[in-house]
Structure 1
Amino acid sequence: MEAGQIIILNGAPRSGKSSIAAAIQETFEGVWINLGVDACAQATPPGLRPGIGLRPGGERPDIEAFVPLLYAALYDSIAAHSRLGLNVVVDIGHHDAYSRSLNILPHCARRLAGLPVLLVGVRCPIDEVLRRRAAGGEGTPYVIGRDDDPMPLPVRRWQEEVHKPGLYDLEVDTSLLSPRACAGSIRERLIAGPAPMAFHTLANLPTA
């Protein structure tokens, strides 16, 4: 059985990853399963949330020991879906800016060894991220800018940390392209090549 394609969309919260994932499900041929930070949040016990969505800066050192386990479980699930011939799109925000040294990304990459993985960096300028956060209103779970703190530290940390080390097969900017246009760029990259290598390069990075 041919393995299903895996597309990993990595970027900060409100950068547009979920909208691109939805566009991929709507427009790409075949079955596309969306596994990512939002799906994991629903499955994670309340006491361990935000789980893999833990922000940079060491906000919850009490749950950090569980984060590598949650990532391992997610990536094993991604691999299982792919090996069954199902395509997977993953919207996520990888970083290693915890209070302890975790270096999670290479471990995740190794769990997808031998599978077709396209790693996409989803970029969005911080001003646009803040505008999107504010548009959600007070009821959203996102930190928003205020008159006395127009560019909150948690938002700046996401922008600084989520794209390290910055190895991608493709990058898209959602301030310039619609979700469907981003999905179209991803489709073109899959068709035109070259063969994706970024995630498998990350698998060879040191983990300590």
Structure 2
Amino acid sequence: MRHLTDVPPRRGLIIFLNGTSSSGKSSIATELLRILDEPYFHMPADAFHAMRSRVPVPPGEVDTVLHRTWQGYHRAVAGMAAAGNNVVMDHILSADWRLNDCLSLFVPQDVVLVGVRCPVDELERRERERGDRPPGLAARQLKQVHAHGVYDIECDTSLSDPTECAHRIRGFLPARPTPTAFQRLRGGN
């Protein structure tokens, strides 16, 4: 039996999929887990919201509960990567503080920031088809989600299916340039 002290230390890689609701992040993540050469954990933000009990949250506390959930999610991803686990992160950077929080927590050279884009008419069609999102949610998120403007790689899910996007991301990994998008966003650190 191998002892914990025999496990060599390392930092995990975070493949950070950022896009609006219904842009295709989860579908790309599913394909990535299928084709990547090493073990990865898919950690979608939605899973953290789903873990919360169904106890009603008083209206005046909803924003606080949601903020704390997002903060916990960021720290869980950072902890998994710090322990040497590779993570596919499925996120929506629809508020400035979310990106800033991630920039303060993640090792910038260990993050591949992927822009998952999709035109608004296709997002709205997907929302109607899904039926589990408020109409217009993705359109409202669109401007803020990509406002930071810097990515390592981008995919347009209206032009490429999830498998094609996943293969592009996988092909990008071996020769990741530096500085990474996270390094540039942190000012070269």
Task: State whether TM-score is above 0.5.
Answer: yes
Other structure's SS at 1:34 match: strand
What does 1:114-129 correspond to in 2, within 5 Å?
116-129=110-123
Deviations 1:109-147 (A, max 9, x none): 1111366100111000111111212222xxx32134xxx
Alignment-mate amino acid for residue 167 of structure 1: V
Instruction: Provide the alpha-carbon RMSD of the alignment.
Output: 2.2
- State the Cα deviation string for residues 8-48 of structure 1 (Å, max 9, x = none): 10001110000000001011011111112221121123345
Give 1:196 deviation, angstroms: 5.5
Residue 15 in structure 1 maps to residue 23 in structure 2 = yes
Which of 189, 194, 201 pairs up with 2:172?
Answer: 189
Matched letter for residue 133 of structure 2: Y
The answer for unaligned runs of 5 or more in structure 1 is: 49-59, 97-101, 145-151
Moved >6 Å (runs of 4+): none
Label 1:90 to 1:80 Cα distance change in 2 as closer, same or farther (>3 A): same
User: Where does 1:59-98 land on structure 2 (aligned, <5 Å)?
Assistant: 62-96=61-95
Partner of 1:135: 129
- The one-letter code of the counterpart of 1:189 is F
**Aligned residue identity for 2:134:** V
Greater helix proportion: 2
1:125-164 aligned within 5 A: 125-136=119-130, 140-144=131-135, 152=136, 154-164=137-147
Please give the secondary structure, in 2, of the residue aligned with 1:103: helix
Distance 1:37 1:62 in 2: 20
**Contact map agreement 1:13 1:93 (CA 8 A) in 2:** yes
Alignment coverage as a number of residue pairs: 178
Letter in 1 for 2:124: L
User: Unpaired runs of 5+ in structure 2?
Assistant: 1-8
Aligned-pair CA distance for 1:85: 2.0
Q: 2:15 aligns to what SS in structure 1? A: strand
Match of 2:43 in 1: 35
Summarize the Cα distance change of 1:115–1:61 in structure 2 as closer, same or farther, 3 Å threshold. farther
TM-score of the superposed pair, with normalisation by structure 1: 0.76
* 1:15 counterpart letter in structure 2: S
Overall identity of the aligned pairs, in %: 33
Give the secondary structure class of the aligned counterpart of 2:69: helix
Maintained 8 Å contact 1:117/1:196: no
TM-score, normalization: structure 2?
A: 0.83
